[in-house]
Chain A
Amino acid sequence: MTTATHRFSITSLPPAVKAVTLPILLILAWQAWTLTLPENSPAPAPAKVVASFLALTASGDLIWSTLQSLGRVIAGFAIAMVCGISLGVLMGSSKAVRENLDPIVESFRPIAPMAILPIAILWFGTGTPAALTIVAYAAFFPLLVNTVYGVSRVDRQLVRAAQTMGIGRLRTVLAVIVPAAVPSVLLGSRLAMGVAWTAIIAAELAVGAKSGSGGSGGIGNMMFIFYAYSVDLNGIVVCMIVVGVIALLIDRLFRAAETRLLPWRT
């Protein structure tokens, strides 16, 4: 920095540096604050959170719970995908089907996934089937709505073009309408995966509340145990961070899949 032209400027920093600078400052401030508290305070502190993370990872508890939650999300999401996309294609391509089903779909859509938890627990107990039901229910609507939108908004001219090439009705649906709807379906999938992940944590927390420490596992259940039994706020923060990081990774994965699957866009 010998001359004025080389002056330091925030805008010239690489994006990665900008992305971590503020979080690091906040964590430092948080750590500084906890140093003012008495040694036996239950308040979470960065150093304690890191220690808790290392201990939970070493014992395998954290990894196992994460995998359990992820497995449920993937299974529930798969169910939602099959139902949501097939029904969406039907509703999007047939006006009669759409007009008959729309009132039912629209009256169920605003009902939060948590609101069907009592019924799910009564029917399926506190195990995996109840969790799957919640996840599938949550993921179903974004998939359905976006598929219907994508299919019904297909460029009519492309369908007409297909007709003038002697392409039949069913073949037109498969070769023109479905591929044209793929961008909307992928967007729906990304949104659905997001709400599925949110829903599973909430469902496991709630199921944990119902079944206690002998619950059905998963990160949500782990959080409940930290809350209700060991009163370990540091453990809860570890879980929160893991949930956030995984949500971020899932989102990035879907975005990457979008650019790979849609090379014809931009």
Chain B
Amino acid sequence: MTVATMPTSQKPKLRLQNVTKEFVAKRTGQKTLAVSDFSLDVRPGEFLCVVGPSGCGKSTVLNMIAGLDQPTEGSIVMDGQLVTRPGAERGVMFQDYALFPWKSVRDNVGFGLKHGTPGNGLSPVERRERVDHFVKMVGLEAAATKYPHQLSGGMRQRVALARLLANGPEVLLMDEPLGALDAQTRMVLQVELLRIWGEAADHGERKTVVFITHGIDEAVFLADRVVVMSSHPGRVSAVIDIDIPRPRTEHIRSEPRFGQLTDEIWSLIRDEAYQAIA
């Protein structure tokens, strides 16, 4: 299983075809192949996790889907349209959250609505209601007037999530959004993330998510499918279906199937992970 093709007749939300990214160092002219021949279909409404050893090009793939970086070769297509630049239909949640430090929680959440295309056609009242809705959804009403530096890591992560959702993107691109948090906060927020994504709702109402993580258990807990990447250069080494039923709760972490899938993915990454620290 080196290439993930569509098993159904359903049209993909995103199609990455033979995507290759080569970085050229400005001074030395030295070339680094970060991602090579990466092909993948992302289904509408699916929660897709990408795991792999550090430096395998996971974030590069995400940035290319976001349109922040351009592939050297190959193409990325969303709903039949070639992706050439960033756009609000592909929202990104950055690893370091990228919150605007001079804006309060509310103003961070409403930033795209105020300055960008997501606010088009909305009256000021509608914008305010939308900000209220998402601030409430992530449970930050009490901190709404605070600035990012006054918040804990978990709260900042929630602000970034609310900001992402307030812009109403069709595809959520998340780059290790829980990576900087302590283990307990992380587990709580994983459950929360699934709730907000709409796990309990109909499949058709869910957003498409591409979620980068280095936590294998996190990927198994969250995902419908897990893409395993290998490094140097970054490519797809396997795609694993996670057949654990939804809605998922804390309890599935102790189920045998959870352990099996985690082991299976770990066995695919293990050798490279050992090489990386050797």
- A residues sitting closer than 8 Å to B (CB atoms) are 155, 157-158, 160-167, 171, 175-176, 179-180, 182, 262-266
Contact = CB atoms under 8 A, between A and B. Distances in A.
A180 B94 CA distance: 18
Q: Which of A166, A167, A180, A264 has the most CB of B within 10 A?
A: A166
Contacts of B115: 162, 165, 167, 171, 175
A157 B101 CA distance: 12
Given A160-B68, A165-B118, A264 B147 contact: yes
8 contacts: A163-B68, A164-B66, A164-B86, A165-B117, A166-B112, A175-B115, A264-B148, A265-B101
Nearest to B91: A164
A161 B98 contact: yes
B102 A180 contact: yes
Interface string B223-257: 00000000000000000000000000000000000
Interface string B53-93: 00000000000001110000000000000000111101110
Given A157-B96, A160-B68, A263-B147, A165 B88 contact: yes
B113 to A, nearest CB: 9
Nearest to A180: B102
Interface residues of B, number: 28
Contacts of A264: 101-103, 147-149
Interface in B164-181: 167
A162 B101 contact: no
A161 B148 CA distance: 15
Contacts of B117: 165-167
B116 interface: yes
A263 B114 CA distance: 21
B254 to A, nearest CB: 37
Given A160-B92, A162-B115, A166-B88, 9 more contacts: A155-B98, A160-B98, A161-B94, A165-B91, A165-B117, A166-B112, A166-B118, A264-B103, A264-B148
A165 B111 contact: yes
Interface of B: 66-68, 85-88, 90-92, 94, 96, 98, 100-103, 111-112, 114-118, 147-149, 167
A164 B114 CA distance: 14
A158 B100 contact: yes
Contacts of A162: 111, 115-116
B94 A157 contact: yes
Question: 9 closest A-B pairs (Cβ-Cβ)?
Answer: A166-B117, A166-B88, A165-B112, A166-B116, A161-B98, A163-B86, A165-B116, A167-B116, A264-B147
Interface SS, B side? loop
Nearest to B68: A160
A261 to B, nearest CB: 10
Contacts of A171: 115-116
A224 B91 CA distance: 66
A176 to B, nearest CB: 7
Contacts of B88: 164-166
A19 to B, nearest CB: 31
A166 B85 CA distance: 10
A165 B98 contact: no
Nearest to A263: B147
Q: Which of A157, A160, A161, A180 has the most CB of B within 10 A?
A: A161
A175 B108 CA distance: 12
A165 B166 CA distance: 10
B167 to A, nearest CB: 5
B79 to A, nearest CB: 16
Contacts of A176: 100
A166 B103 CA distance: 18
A263 B147 CA distance: 8
Contacts of B68: 160, 163-164
Nearest to A179: B102
B102 A266 contact: no
Contacts of B66: 164
A163 B94 CA distance: 13
Q: Which of B92, B96, B100, B111 has the most CB of A within 10 A?
A: B100
B267 to A, nearest CB: 35
A94 to B, nearest CB: 19
A161 B102 contact: no
Contacts of A182: 102
Q: Which of A162, A263, A264, A266 has the most CB of B within 10 A?
A: A264
A157 B147 CA distance: 18
Nearest to A155: B98
A158 B87 contact: no
